[in-house]
Amino acid sequence: MSPDNALANHSEARHSEVRHSLARAKINLFLHITARRDNGYHELDSLAVFADTADRLALVGQAEPGAPMALGIDGPFSEGLDAGSDNLVLRAAAALRDAASLPQTVPNWHMRLTKNLPVASGIGGGSADAAAALRLLADAWDCKGIDLAPIAAGLGADVPVCLAQTTQRMQGIGERLVTPPRMPRCAMVLVNPGIAVPTPAVFRAWKESQAGFRPAASLPVSWPDVGALVESLRTTANDLQPPAIALYPVIGDVLQALSASEHCLFARMSGSGATCFGLYASVEEARQVLAGLRARGWWAEAGWIHTAQD
Please give the annotated binding residues for ATP, written as ranges.
Answer: 118-128
Query: Is there a contact between 166 and 273 (Cβ–Cβ < 8 Å)?
Result: no
Per the document, the length of the chain is 310
Q: CA 34, 273, 38: angle at the middle one, nearest 5?
A: 30
* Residue among 29, 19, 35, 67 nearest 49 (CA): 29
Q: Burial letters for 9-23: b for 16+ Cβ neighbours within 10 Å, e otherwise?
A: ebeeeeeebeebbbb
| Amino acid found at 32 | H
- Residue positions forming the annotated binding site: 118-128
256-264, Cβ contacts within 8 angstroms, sequence gap of 24 or more: 257/191, 257/292, 257/293, 257/296, 258/189, 258/191, 258/289, 258/293, 261/189, 261/289, 261/292, 261/293, 262/288, 262/289, 263/288, 263/289, 264/189, 264/289
CA dist 39 → 31, 32, 36, 267 (Å)? 20, 19, 8, 33
**Residue 248, Cα to own-chain centre: how many angstroms?**
21
Task: Point out the catalytic residue in the list 26, 45, 52, 55.
Answer: 26
Q: Cα separation of 87 and 301, whole Å?
A: 26
Q: For residue 239, list its beta bridge partners.
A: none
Which alpha helices (DSSP H) does the chain contain, by range?
Answer: 3-8, 88-100, 125-140, 148-155, 159-164, 199-208, 226-233, 241-247, 250-260, 283-287, 290-294
Pick the catalytic residue from 45, 52, 55, 158. 158
Query: In this structure, are residues 41 and 173 in contact, taking their beta carbons and an 8 Å threshold?
Result: yes
Cis peptide preceding 48, ω within 30 of 0: no
The verdict on whether 158 is a catalytic residue reads yes
Catalytically active residues are: 26, 158
